[in-house]
Amino acid sequence: MKLSSLKESDPEVYSIIKKELDRQNNVLELIPSENFVSEAILEASGSILTNKYSEGYPNKRYYGGNENIDELETLAINRAKQVFNVEHVNVQPYSGSPANLAVYLATCNPGDKIMGLNLPDGGHLTHGWKVNASSLFYESIPYHVNSNGFIDLEEVRELALANKPKLIWCGATAYVRALPFEEFGEIADEVGAYFAADISHIAGLIASNLHPNPSSYCHIITTTTHKTIRGPRGAMIMVTKKGIEKDKDLPSKIDKAVFPGLQGGPHNHTTAAIATALKEMMKPEFKEYSKQIIRNSKALAQALIEKNIKLVTNGTDNHMILIDLTPFGKGKGLIVQEALDLAGITTNKNTIPNDPSSPFYPSGIRIGTPAITTRNMKEPEMQQIAEFISDVINEVRNYNLPSDNEKRKEFLIKFRLEIRNNTKIKEIISKVLKLCEEFPLYKNAS
Rounded distance between C-alpha atoms, residue 98 and residue 270, angstroms: 15
Count other C-beta atoms under 10 Å from residue 64's C-beta. 7
Nearest partner of 136 among 108, 174, 99, judged by Cα: 108
Rounded distance between C-alpha atoms, residue 240 and residue 87, angstroms: 5
Catalytic residues: 53, 55, 198, 224, 227, 233
User: What separation in angstroms does the CA of 34 have from each of 152, 228, 293, 409?
Assistant: 28, 8, 13, 29
Q: Answer for the pair 335, 395: CB distance below 8 angstroms, yes or no.
A: no
The amino acid occupying position 388 is F
Rounded distance between C-alpha atoms, residue 300 and residue 316, angstroms: 10
Task: Count Cβ atoms within 10 A of the Cβ of residue 440 and give its class: 0-12 exposed, 13-18 middle, 19 or more buried.
Answer: exposed
User: What separation in angstroms does the CA of 79 have from each of 83, 89, 275, 276, 377?
Assistant: 6, 10, 7, 9, 29
DSSP class per residue in 225-259: SSSTT---S-EEEEE-HHHHHH-TTHHHHHHHIII
The amino acid occupying position 392 is V
Rounded distance between C-alpha atoms, residue 312 and residue 176, angstroms: 8
Give a three-class secondary structure readout of 316-362. CCCCEEEEECHHHCCCCHHHHHHHHHHCCEECEEECCCCCCCCCCCC
